[in-house]
Structure 1
Amino acid sequence: MKNVFILCAMTMLVLMTSCTSTIPDETTRRVPQFENEEVEVWKSIIYPSQPLSMHRHDNPRAIIALKGGTLKVVNQNGDSHDMTWESGKAYWLEADTPGELHGDVNEGTEPIEVIVVQMKK
């Protein structure tokens, strides 16, 4: 019985270590929150100097800034503009122009955290 307990304890330790070491705490990421037929909801944590890859949003979305900041939005043609998110405020963004991609860069010194509620229709 003692050996089973030790084996279980070691297994738990390995699992906990592997779970916590797979995603560093300071890595830009998207964390799914909720999804149904109408909406997809995720939390984005965008760390300074960790650009998001080129992407697009085919549907409109609401953004709720948990920790605000300024993102530089870089379009595929090289043009860019800043979007400033104020903590505690909500914003509405229309769908991206069809066929156009953009990337986002947090050029500040603190992470930006937002909740995105993207419509599916």
Structure 2
Amino acid sequence: MNELTHRFRPWFWLIIVALAFGAYWCVKPKQSAQEFIESTKPAAAGAQQEAQLENAWVRVWKVSFAKGESLDFKKHDGPLVVVPLSPGQFTRTHTTGERIVVDLEPGQAYWYEADPQGTRVRDSLDATHTVELMVVELQPDVIKAWAYYKQSKMED
């Protein structure tokens, strides 16, 4: 190797790494500012949220609540299916004051509609032990496609 090639070799690899990073940045799924903020918020003490699956159709995560634990207020723009893995009493409290209380049976699926516009909910569990739930949420594009489909059927 001549001296010129040897001198520019570190720059060559730095440029290759920068191009690879740039290519990754361009093709990775985009995230809105609100989604980024929500994803960086830590779960409430004792409540663990673990992503299980995310694709174009659904987002699935496992939530573990310690005894009497609750999650901070949040908004679900789409409907949810909640499948408890252990028994407990599940309470959803809306900012409007409405409360929904359900005695959870392990393995039973529970359907929750999207939260009304302008409201948020707090989920809490009353149990003498840790309660685990699987939560399945439809992706926003699936919800929009379903709404469009229903609208087109009504026009026919």
Query: How does the TM-score come out when normalised to structure 2?
Result: 0.56
The structure having more radius of gyration, on CA atoms, is 2
**Which string of whole-angstrom CA distances, capped at 9 and with x for unpartnered residues, describes residues 34-87 of structure 1?**
101111000011112222100121111221111121122222134433122211
Question: In structure 2, the residue corresponding to 1:45 is in which secondary structure?
Answer: strand
Q: Is the 8 A contact 1:64 1:116 kept in 2?
A: yes
Aligned counterpart in structure 2 of residue 103 of structure 1, from 97, 122, 131:
122
- Greater fraction of residues in strand: 1
Q: Which runs of 5+ in 2 are unaligned?
A: 1-44, 143-156
- Higher RCO (CA-CA < 8 Å; seq separation 6+): 1
Q: Which residue of 1 aligns with 2:54?
A: 35
Aligned counterpart in structure 2 of residue 57 of structure 1, from 61, 65, 76:
76
Q: Which residue of 1 aligns with 2:110?
A: 91
Aligned length: 96
Query: How does the TM-score come out when normalised to structure 1?
Result: 0.71
Q: Which runs of 5+ in 1 are unaligned?
A: 1-25
| Aligned-pair Cα RMSD in Å | 1.7
The amino acid that maps onto 2:82 is I
